[in-house]
């Protein structure tokens, strides 16, 4: 063990003078994860993407990361917000389009226990997703939501907004 440590120290000692000599190439001093010095737009390969970051929050499709797929959004700016699940994300030029299926409203026969607590931002929805798929931009998302599958076809969505 001691001999391995001594050999390592000796190799490091031999390396130091070489790094300080003028013949040492500059590539030795560039970190592998250094940011690019050019601000060129790098074309993304492919149409689909795994995630998108918006307002310091990661959003991803349900098959990639289910916890980052539940959102509250407005498909049309003047409409009421609705809950949905991101199915996948696609690149369209320099923007991202999210394909979202909305959660069905809870049946009238079922009771939403969170209606009694207006200051607790949780709502019960049906666990069944609708067939209709909305295509939205990242700016249409109002907030990120935590999704919890509960019982008898019910799901709870809790507001995870930082505001």
Nearest to 79 by CA among 134, 130, 156, 125: 134
Residue 36 lies in a domain: no
Flag whether 111 is in a domain: yes
What's the pLDDT tens digit per position in 57-83?
889 998 888 788 999 999 888 888 889
Least confident of 8-12, 89-93, 109-113: 8-12
Q: Would you mind telling me the total number of residues written for the chain in this entry?
A: 163
**Which of 1-5, 27-31, 82-86, 119-123 shows the lowest per-residue confidence on average (mean pLDDT)?**
27-31
Q: What is the CATH number of the domain that holds 98?
A: 2.30.30
What is the C-alpha to C-alpha distance for residues 93 and 47, in angstroms, rounded to an integer? 9
pLDDT band of residue 23 (cuts 50, 70, 90) is confident
Model pLDDT, residue 129:
92
Could you give the CA distance from residue 74 to residue 83 in angstroms, rounded to a whole number? 9
**CB neighbours (10 Å) of residue 137?**
13
- Print the domain residue range for 100: 48-159
* Domain-located, residue 77: yes
Interval 33-42: pLDDT, tens: 666 665 554 5
pLDDT confidence tier of residue 149, bands split at 50, 70 and 90: confident
């Amino acid at each position: 063990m001691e001999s391995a440590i001594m050999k390592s120290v000796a190799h490091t000692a031999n390396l130091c003078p070489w790094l300080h000599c003028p013949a040492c190439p500059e590539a030795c001093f560039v970190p592998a994860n250094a940011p690019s010095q050019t601000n060129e737009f790098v074309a993304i390969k492919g149409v689909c993407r795994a995630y998108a970051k918006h307002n310091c929050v990661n959003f991803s499709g349900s098959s990639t990361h289910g916890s980052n797929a539940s959102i509250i959004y407005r498909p049309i700016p003047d409409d009421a917000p609705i809950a949905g699940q991101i199915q996948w994300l696609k690149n369209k030029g320099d923007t991202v389009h999210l394909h979202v299926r909305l959660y069905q409203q809870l049946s009238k026969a079922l009771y939403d226990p969170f209606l009694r607590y207006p200051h607790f931002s949780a709502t019960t929805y049906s666990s069944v997703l609708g067939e209709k798929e909305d295509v939205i931009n990242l700016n249409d998302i109002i907030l990120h939501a935590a999704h919890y599958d509960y019982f008898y076809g019910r799901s709870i969505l809790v507001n995870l907004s930082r505001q």
